[in-house]
């Protein structure tokens, strides 16, 4: 076999930081394709789950990420780590240092649509502002820019909307709540299966240097969605009042056109 043929059949290596609700099934999905997949965790007990997913597990804790040479010896680094983790800013700084030290060529950073203000209408990728996430308090646009502005590696940013899927049933978030505003405002959600499909297609098609919104293209209203979601789980639906609430509609048309990507779960209401 020639050297060119050997290069052709070498597996591309992918390292995933954060083997949680999204990272673990993503790793399992990619490991069943022509990729060598590595996954990091801060918990020793999680290493078994990672191994069972067909992924090579690494225990990485602060400080010392820059010394984890084998983990960072990859073609692609996927950062799938919620900003609610302890010492998030410090972890990001350590990751950036390790990426540069080990010359990782491409980073896929999983971000959030919390970078958009509630403007009462549709928002696209250019509408992001430097605001703190209402859930974690982290200013994700600043974090994105640390990766985007670094010229020592390529970066792709994927901003996911509200996540739902296995073990993450939206009805549990709203069950039994009283006097809830915003019955008619649209929901912005994306299923785990589409998150994995989008990341895998970005990798397969080598879409670098781009920022994408990732949200189901249909947006049922809050009352219809959460009432059905709660009833499907046998829980008490929330009670909505007549007051409106601030909102935004996440526009994923760039993602749909540029990849292109066809959503598996176009309308979250139909999954309930």
In a domain, 258, yes or no: yes
List the CATH number of the domain containing 261: 3.40.50.720
pLDDT tens-place string over residues 216-271: 999 999 999 999 999 999 999 999 999 999 999 999 999 999 999 999 999 999 99
Q: How high is the mean pLDDT of the chain?
A: 93
Give me the helix-helix angle, 23-31 and 192-204, nearest 10°.
50
- Give the mean pLDDT of 200-215: 98
Reference 255, options 166, 186, 190; nearest CA is 190
In a domain, 177, yes or no: no
pLDDT at 271: 93
pLDDT tens-place string over residues 164-188: 999 999 999 999 999 999 999 999 9
pLDDT at 52: 98
Per-position DSSP letters for 216-265, written without gaps between them:
-S---BHHHHHHHHHHHTT-PPP-B-S------EE--HHHHHHTT---S-
pLDDT at 7: 42
pLDDT at 151 over 60: yes
In a domain, 32, yes or no: yes
120 token code pair: 């009462």
pLDDT at 204 over 60: yes
In a domain, 85, yes or no: yes
pLDDT at 66: 63
- Give the mean pLDDT of 58-63: 82
pLDDT at 63: 65
> Do 240 and 180 touch, CB atoms closer than 8 A?
yes
Q: Quick count: other Cβ atoms within 10 Å of Cβ 149?
A: 8
Whole domain around residue 62: which residue ranges?
A: 12-164+191-219+248-271
pLDDT tens-place string over residues 5-57: 434 446 899 999 999 999 999 999 999 999 999 999 999 999 999 999 999 99
In a domain, 140, yes or no: yes
In a domain, 182, yes or no: no
- % of the chain surpassing 90 pLDDT: 86
pTM for the full predicted model = 0.94
Backbone angles phi, psi at 135, to 5 degrees: -95, -40
* Count of structural domains within the chain: 1
pLDDT at 131 over 80: yes
In a domain, 115, yes or no: yes
Alpha helix locations (H) across 115-235? Answer: 140-148, 171-174, 192-204, 222-232
Tokens 């598996």 appear where? 264
In a domain, 179, yes or no: no
């Amino acid at each position: 076999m020639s050297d060119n043929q050997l290069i052709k059949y070498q597996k591309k290596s992918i390292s995933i930081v954060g083997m949680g609700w999204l990272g673990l099934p993503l790793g399992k999905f990619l490991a069943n394709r022509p990729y060598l997949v590595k996954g990091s965790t801060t918990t020793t007990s999680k290493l078994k789950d990672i191994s069972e997913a067909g992924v090579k597990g690494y225990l990485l804790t602060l400080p010392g990420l820059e010394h984890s040479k084998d983990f960072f010896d990859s073609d692609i680094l996927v950062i799938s780590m919620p900003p609610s983790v302890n010492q998030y800013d410090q972890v990001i700084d350590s990751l950036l240092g390790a990426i540069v030290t080990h010359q990782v060529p491409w980073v896929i950073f999983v971000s959030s649509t919390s970078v958009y203000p509630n403007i009462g209408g549709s928002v696209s990728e250019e509408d992001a502002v430097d605001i703190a996430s209402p859930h974690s308090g982290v200013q994700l646009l600043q974090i994105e820019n640390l990766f985007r502005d670094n010229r020592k590696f390529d970066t792709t940013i994927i901003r996911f909307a509200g996540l739902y899927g296995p073990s993450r049933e939206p009805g549990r978030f709203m069950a039994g709540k009283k006097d809830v505003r915003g019955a008619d405002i649209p929901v912005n959600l994306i299923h785990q299966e589409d998150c994995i499909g989008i990341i895998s297609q970005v990798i397969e098609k080598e879409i670098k240097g781009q920022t994408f919104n990732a949200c189901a293209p249909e947006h049922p209203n809050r009352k219809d969605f959460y009432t059905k979601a709660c009833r499907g789980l046998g829980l008490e639906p929330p009670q909505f009042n007549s007051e409106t609430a601030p909102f935004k509609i996440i526009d994923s048309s760039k993602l749909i056109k540029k990849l292109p990507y066809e959503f598996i779960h176009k309308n979250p209401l139909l999954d309930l």
